[in-house]
Amino acid sequence: MSRHRTCSPISREDIQAAFTGEDGKRFPPILNVQQLSELTSIPRSTIYEWHSRGLWGSAARTRGKRLLFWRDRAIDVIFNGPDWS
């Protein structure tokens, strides 16, 4: 018997719906590391580590010294992506 419950993936529509209103203003479509950390409660050091391991895929882009994230893609990776353990 498996210990892990399977969940239905979160749809793009569900992700977009979560950012209507004030949350959409507070967390724009492109986020920096601090904003992604605040949104997800994932420590910044973990976000950087996952980036160095290539786990963000197309959700992350480096521009100069800045690491930027597509908000909706990052949420999709966190909730619908493969297990990273």
**Domain architecture of the chain: domains with CATH:** 26-80 (3.90.105)
Task: Give me the helices (H) in the chain, please.
Answer: 12-17, 22-26, 33-40, 44-52, 71-80
More confident residue, 35 or 9: 35
**What percent of the chain is modeled with pLDDT above 70?**
89
Q: Under a CB-based contact definition with an 8 Å cutoff, are residues 50 and 82 in contact?
A: no
Dihedral of alpha carbons 45, 48, 52, 53, sign: positive
Is the overall model pTM greater than 0.85, yes or no? no
Characterize 2-35 residue by residue with b for buried, 16 or more Cβ atoms within 10 angstroms of its Cβ, and e for exposed: eeeeeeeeeeeeebeebbeeeeeeebeeebebeb
Q: What's the pLDDT score for residue 1?
A: 47
